[in-house]
């Protein structure tokens, strides 16, 4: 039931955390303790090895998502939480699928793989193992088309996502560019410009 | 200088300003006790059960404003401590609990007295740590105290494997803590504070709804200033008793399930509710749609996740109650030019008159009886005798609610109770902790016969250290609150509530080396209390009270506060209460 009338929908939440033991169970525990379901979760180290980045997919109305975000923030080991659903972002997941491939159907399976730019990563006399990446809708469609042949086993990574270009950063850079231009017009100001490059 | 992990541990406690540790030794934590043997500057109080160590640390923390410390061993000691951790978590009490752990190479091996301590306490602490290397000891302890005492306070647990306590490491005490992922917001947003000030200025029927956060941030003076400047009546939660003087003209006492009728009516009819350091608990709000349906809600809290959790807030202000209230007072003073304009004053007087009418109509009341002691009467007499100067601690149950209704407070940090978790057995060990913080103050533990026996073993601790806690047991021979619910909501189907087989509390006190006193008639109440307060050392007063007295007013769980049951309900009201069981 929604408290504020908004419909439950999927949210992709990026969580930057300290790369320490126990952090994953803190995050997972937060969800299980409140009965919220995580649809997918993927974790990996970031450029800075002292931090990890989690991508969570959660279904909920605005009220639930607001609480999820606040509760994540409350965890001592969480550095940053952003709901990517609210901004421009790119998302991918990868699936590995082993599908029945009897001689008569091999060509067709390859055609389907080709259309989805999926790769054959393993072959046996009676099976293909395909690697497909893309947005959920794309991997979903690939699986729908493979299903009639008989999927033996399926593994998905869960979604990972990245913001296209954080708005605030763009604004800051624009400001700095603006200041730099002014400074060129007025050399007196030039001294004051520092830290143009992060 | 190289020191053992255990010695580093003690050095760190000393540098954190810890003077008392509540603890109980055992195998895994023995290296600490060995180091304590010739360590000066720490008092160790040996409790008789580990939950007692946790609650004592809570009591100590609540009355002193410092971080309380508990120290116990691994396995069963750690699991015994869990209730106290959850209690401190719910009530935002800053404690740091240390548990021993089996040596690191045995962790996960089902070793003797092993439990997954950090796994178990993860969900009932603000944060927890497992120290895997003595080189991390000092920094971890510094962080633990910092996290426990800052932001929204809470319990922190540190697990200490035996080998880490034995191994040596270079000791450097870090002067500063930096946690990039933990930066509580203390200053409220100036724009939001301005908006709040304007809203309060416009309000016709404002109410200040104050929670334990005001005690935690020592914001009582700022609260008083704001209430007086703007003539806004104040109601407090059970955690905030003492945050506002009970005898003040603007005080409405406690609100909620067993709160005052006038406080609940004021909140219901309010057009501007200013919540400060409170979290809209279900025992406060009752049926949430009928809590304060027509008010604009301003919510000041240091924990963003408390805001708009249970109820939609119109003006959220994240920050420390003390600082935000101080800014709000400034803002209001500017807006009003130092005092309320005449037109506002007239509107406010009308509102206060209305509240006074509600108060006259349904004050707290009970029927006097010449033969039987009424528990409410005991509370009134305790209140008369201590005059707001004693530290009052309670267990959980009917006696707790009567104490909250009838005892009058003058100062903050003079009241310890288990509000959020409702932990029976909290009273005695918490009183022990409060007394350890202030050995010369009068500490009164108001307890129930059911609640008291859950931790009565701590009488031994009190006797050993001659901590002069005065325990008053409101003895009705029942689990009274459960009996009350079974009577009113479950149609009188009484089940598993009779405690008439309790021990003789006077003899029990005597057996522990404490003084026992009994009162069975109303005329004996005052002499018994006077004698108890005048006797040195720990005392237990067995107040044999009316067995079937109920706490009123009362909102059946899930019901609306405005429909409080005011006195003993008739059949029709009972039927309605039984139906209202959508709550718990």
What pLDDT score does B181 carry? 92
* Domains of chain A by start residue, with CATH: 9-87 (3.30.70.260), 90-161 (3.30.70.1150)
Q: Look at chain B and report how many structural domains it folds into.
A: 3
| Whole-number pLDDT of residue A99 | 97
pLDDT score of B345: 87
Per-residue pLDDT at A198 exceeds 50: no
Taking the CA of residue A155 and the nearest CA in chain B, the distance in Å comes to 29
Same-domain pairing of B42 and B139: yes
Domain holding B462: CATH number?
A: 3.40.50.970
Q: Provide, rounded to the nearest whole percent, the portion of chain A with pLDDT above 90.
A: 72
* Residue pLDDT, tens place only, B443-461: 999 999 999 999 999 999 9
Q: Which residue in chain A has the smallest CA separation from B122?
A: A26
On the question of pLDDT at B572 being above 70, the answer is yes
* Mean of pLDDT values over B151-180: 96
Residues 6+ apart with CB under 8 A from B83: B51, B54, B421, B423
In a domain, B557, yes or no: no
* Residue B160: closest CA among B61, B42, B30, B1: B30
What is the C-alpha to C-alpha distance for residues B537 and B28, in angstroms, rounded to an integer? 34
Whole-angstrom distance, CA of residue B255 vs CA of residue A41: 43
Please check the confidence at residue A15 and state whether its pLDDT lies above 70. Answer: yes
Hey, what long-range contacts does B483-488 have (CB within 8 A, 24 or more apart)? B483/B548, B484/B398, B484/B550, B484/B551, B484/B554, B487/B548, B487/B550, B488/B550, B488/B554, B488/B556, B488/B565, B488/B569, B488/B574, B488/B577
How confident is the model over A160-167, as a mean pLDDT?
A: 82
What pLDDT sits at residue B571?
83
Pair B317, B427 in one domain: no
For position A4, what pLDDT does the model report? 52
CA-to-CA separations, B84 to B213, B424, B431, in angstroms, rounded: 19, 11, 14
Q: What is the three-class DSSP state of B235?
A: strand
The answer to whether residue B345 sits within a structural domain is yes
- Let me know whether B209 and B297 are in one domain: yes
What is the predicted pLDDT for the residue at B474?
98
Q: CB distance from A29 to chain B under 8 Å?
A: yes
In B290-309, the residues whose Cβ lies within 8 Å of chain A are: 303-305, 308-309
Residue B225 lies in a domain: yes
User: Could you say which of B332, B361, B390 is where a domain stops?
Assistant: B361
Using CB atoms and an 8 Å cut-off, which of residues 76-105 of chain A contact chain B?
Answer: 76-79
Do both B303 and B158 map to the same domain?
no
Residue A70 has pLDDT above 50, yes or no: yes
Peptide bond preceding B414 in cis form (omega within 30 of 0): no
CB contact B104 to A (< 8 Å):
no
Distance set, CA B505 to CA B28, B189, B456, B553 (Å): 36, 54, 10, 30
Q: Best of B118, B145, B182 to disrupt the A interface by mutation (most A CBs within 10 Å)?
A: B182
A71 contacts chain B (CB < 8 A) = yes
Co-location of B223 and B347 in the same domain: yes
Are residues B115 and B56 both part of a single domain? yes
Share above pLDDT 90 across residues of chain B, in percent, rounded to a whole number: 92
Three-state SS at A155: strand
Q: How far is it, in rounded angstroms, from Cα B207 to Cα B275?
A: 8
Q: Which chain B residues are Cβ-neighbours of A22 within 8 angstroms?
A: 118, 122, 130
Last residue of a domain, one of B112, B141, B170: B170
Is position B562 within any domain?
Answer: no
For residue B527, is it within any domain?
Answer: yes
- Residue B313 pLDDT greater than 90, yes or no: yes
pLDDT at A86: 84
Let me know whether B439 and B337 are in one domain: no
The predicted-structure confidence for B517-561, as pLDDT tens digits, reads as follows 999 999 999 999 999 999 999 999 999 999 999 999 999 888 899
> B395 and B451: one domain?
yes
Please tell me which of the candidates B123, B126, B303 has its beta carbon nearest to residue A29. Answer: B123
Residue B577: what pLDDT?
A: 77
Mean confidence (pLDDT) of chain A: 86
> Nearest-CA residue of chain B relative to A29?
B123
**Residue where a domain stops, chosen among B321, B339, B361:** B361
A161 touches B at CB < 8 Å:
no
As a whole number, mean pLDDT of residues A52-64 equals 93
Chain A residue closest in CA terms to B181: A79
Q: Return the pLDDT at B511.
A: 98
Burial class (CB in 10 A: 0-12, 13-18, 19+), A16: middle
Does position B429 have pLDDT exceeding 50, yes or no?
yes
Q: Which residue has the higher pLDDT, A179 or A138?
A: A138
Q: Are strands A119-124 and A127-134 parallel, antiparallel or unpaired?
A: antiparallel
Q: B143-158, pLDDT tens digit by residue? A: 999 999 999 999 999 9
A174 touches chain B (CB under 8 A): no
Do B427 and B508 reside in the same domain of the chain? yes
Task: Write out the residue range of the structural domain in which residue B104 sits.
Answer: 2-170
- The predicted pLDDT at position B53 comes to 98
Among A84, A34, A89, which Cα is nearest to A54's? A84
Higher pLDDT, B516 or B568: B516
Residue A184 pLDDT level (bands cut at 50, 70, 90): low
Give strand pairing partners of A15.
A54, A81
Cα separation, B228 vs B226, in Å, equals 6
Q: Does the pLDDT value for residue B303 go beyond 90?
A: yes
pLDDT tens digits, A169-178: 555 666 666 6
Beta-carbon contacts of B18 under 8 Å, excluding residues fewer than 6 positions away, are B42, B67, B69
Residues B470-483 have a mean pLDDT of 98
* DSSP structure class, residue B28: G
B354 & B496 share domain: no
> Is B369 contained in some domain?
no
Cα–Cα distances in angstroms (integers) from residue A88 to residues A13, A15, A56, A128, B432, in the given order: 13, 16, 16, 36, 57
Question: Which pLDDT does position A197 carry in this prediction?
Answer: 38
Q: Is B288 a domain residue?
A: yes
Residue B323 lies in a domain: yes
Cβ–Cβ contact A72 with B under 8 A: no
Chain B residues within an 8 Å CB radius of A74: 303-305
pTM, full prediction: 0.92
Residues B74 and B6 in one domain: yes
In the predicted structure, residue B65 carries a pLDDT above the cut 90: yes
Q: Is the pLDDT of residue A195 over 50?
A: no
Query: How confident is the prediction for chain B on average, in pLDDT?
Result: 96
Tell me, yes or no, whether B141 and B18 share the same domain: yes
């Amino acid at each position: 039931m929604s408290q504020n009338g908004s419909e439950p929908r999927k949210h992709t939440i990026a969580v930057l955390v300290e790369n320490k033991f126990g952090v994953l169970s803190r995050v997972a525990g937060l969800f299980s303790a409140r009965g919220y379901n995580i649809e997918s979760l993927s974790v990996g180290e970031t450029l800075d090895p002292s931090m990890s980045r989690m991508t969570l997919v959660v279904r909920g109305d605005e009220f639930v998502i607001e609480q999820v975000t606040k509760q994540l923030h409350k965890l001592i080991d969480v550095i940053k939480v952003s709901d990517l659903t609210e901004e421009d972002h790119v998302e991918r997941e990868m699936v590995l699928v082993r599908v029945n491939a009897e001689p008569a159907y091999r060509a067709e399976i390859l055609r389907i793989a080709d259309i989805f730019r999926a790769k054959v990563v393993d072959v046996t006399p009676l099976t293909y193992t395909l690697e497909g990446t893309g947005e959920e809708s794309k991997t979903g469609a690939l699986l729908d088309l493979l299903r009639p042949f008989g999927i033996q086993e399926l593994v998905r990574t869960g979604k990972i996502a990245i913001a296209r270009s954080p708005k605030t950063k763009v604004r800051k850079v624009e400001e700095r560019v603006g200041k730099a231009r002014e400074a060129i017009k007025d050399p007196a100001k030039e001294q004051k410009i520092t830290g143009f490059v992060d | 200088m190289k020191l053992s992990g255990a010695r580093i541990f003690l050095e760190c406690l000393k540098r954190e300003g810890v003077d008392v540790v509540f603890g109980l030794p055992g195998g895994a934590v023995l290296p600490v006790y060995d180091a304590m043997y010739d360590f000066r500057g720490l008092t160790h109080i040996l409790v008789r059960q580990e939950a007692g160590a946790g609650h004592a640390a809570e009591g100590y923390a609540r009355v002193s404003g410092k971080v309380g410390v508990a120290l116990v061993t691994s396995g069963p000691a750690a699991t015994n401590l869990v209730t106290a951790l959850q209690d401190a978590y719910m009530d935002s009490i800053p404690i740091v609990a240390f548990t021993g752990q089996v040596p690191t190479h045995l962790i996960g091996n089902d070793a003797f007295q092993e439990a997954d301590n950090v796994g178990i306490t993860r969900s009932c602490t603000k944060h927890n740590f497992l120290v895997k290397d003595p080189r991390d000891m000092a920094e971890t302890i510094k962080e633990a105290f910092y996290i426990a005492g800052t932001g929204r306070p809470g319990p922190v647990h540190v697990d200490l494997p035996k080998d880490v306590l034995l191994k040596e490491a270079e000791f450097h005490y870090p002067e500063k803590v930096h946690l990039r992922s933990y930066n509580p917001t203390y200053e409220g947003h100036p724009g939001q504070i301005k908006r709040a000030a304007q809203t309060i200025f416009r309000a016709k029927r404002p109410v200040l709804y104050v929670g334990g956060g005001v005690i935690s941030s020592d914001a009582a003076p700022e609260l008083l200033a704001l209430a007086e400047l703007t003539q806004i009546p104040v109601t407090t939660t059970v955690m905030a008793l003492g945050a506002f003087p009970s005898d003040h003209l603007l005080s409405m006492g406690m609100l909620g399930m067993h709160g005052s009728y006038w406080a609940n009516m004021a909140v219901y009819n309010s057009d501007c509710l200013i919540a400060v350091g409170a979290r809209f608990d279900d025992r406060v709000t009752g049926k949430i749609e009928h809590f304060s349906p027509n008010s604009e809600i301003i919510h000041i809290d240091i924990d963003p996740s408390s805001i708009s959790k249970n109820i939609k807030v119109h003006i959220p202000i994240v920050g420390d109650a003390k600082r935000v209230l101080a800014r709000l007072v400034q803002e209001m003073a500017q807006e009003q030019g130092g005092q309320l304009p005449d037109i506002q004053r007239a509107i406010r007087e009308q509102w206060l008159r209305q509240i006074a009418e509600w108060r006259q109509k349904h004050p707290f009341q009970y029927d006097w009886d010449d033969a039987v002691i009424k528990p409410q009467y005991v509370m009134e007499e305790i209140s008369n005798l201590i005059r707001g100067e004693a530290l009052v601690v309670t267990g959980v149950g009917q006696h707790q609610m009567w104490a909250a209704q009838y005892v009058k407070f003058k100062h903050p940090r003079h009241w310890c109770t288990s509000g959020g978790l409702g932990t029976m057995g909290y009273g005695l060990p918490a009183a022990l902790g409060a007394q350890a913080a202030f050995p010369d103050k009068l500490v009164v533990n108001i307890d129930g016969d059911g609640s008291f026996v859950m931790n009565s073993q701590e009488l031994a601790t009190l006797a050993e250290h001659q901590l002069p806690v005065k325990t008053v047991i409101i003895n009705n021979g029942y689990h009274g609150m459960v009996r009350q619910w079974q009577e009113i909501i479950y149609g009188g189907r009484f089940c598993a509530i009779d405690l008439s087989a309790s021990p003789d509390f006077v003899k029990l006190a005597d057996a522990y080396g404490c003084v026992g006193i009994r009162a069975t008639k109303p005329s004996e109440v005052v002499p018994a209390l006077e004698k108890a307060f005048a006797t040195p050392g720990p005392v237990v007063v067995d107040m044999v009270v009316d067995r079937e007295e109920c706490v009123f007013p009362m909102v059946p769980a899930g019901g609306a506060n405005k429909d409080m049951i005011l006195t003993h309900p008739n059949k029709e009201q009972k039927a309605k209460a039984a139906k209202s069981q959508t709550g718990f």
